Amino acid sequence: MRRALLLSCLLLAAPAARAQAPFTLPEADRMRLVTHGLGWTVLRDATAPHGAAEMGMLLVRAQRPVPAAARPGHLARTLQNLRTLHVGPLPAEEHADLAGLPADLLQARATGVPSGVPVVVRAACLYGPARSWLLVASAPVAEWPGLEAEMARLIAGFRPG
């Protein structure tokens, strides 16, 4: 319910917040831009039933730059502090290069709050000199196999503006 309320608030804020996002994402088959609001850009699974307790989503947010010394564990701490997800034990962050920036990646199981629906979460944090970028993809466990490739492609294709 809370996640649906957050999404509803973002949708209501959409007309006032339709400014061009300072980044690009590749085209998606199922994931469609829903809104920009409260600092987040939200894409959701266009095939999800109306009123679903959880659905495939990709949330993107610019953050303050994260100094190199503070990066170890930053993504895990960020995921553990998201109010709409209760993440279980997290694996070690994978280090990568995305869009020419150093990045950390995680994938884990979580539970939607307050829905209680089990979800898979794939998250990335790209560390740029002027800002960092947080990308959080999630979908119900049963729907993840159908969205996993698209979510991975969206995250890998992310380009800061």
Distance CA 127, CA 17 (A): 25
Q: Cβ-count burial of 70 within 10 angstroms (0-12 exposed, 13-18 middle, 19+ buried)?
A: exposed
3.40.1000.10, 2.40.50.180, 3.40.50.300, 3.40.640.10: which CATH number matches 2-17+27-160?
3.40.1000.10
Beta carbons within 10 angstroms of residue 62's beta carbon: 18
The helix (H) or strand (E) run that includes residue 157 is helix 144-157
Domain ranges of the chain: 2-17+27-160
pLDDT digits (tens, 9 = 90+) for 149-158: 999 999 999 9
pLDDT digits (tens, 9 = 90+) for 94-142: 999 999 999 999 999 999 999 999 999 999 999 999 999 999 999 999 9
Q: Which of 137, 85, 84 is nearest to 106 (CA)?
A: 137
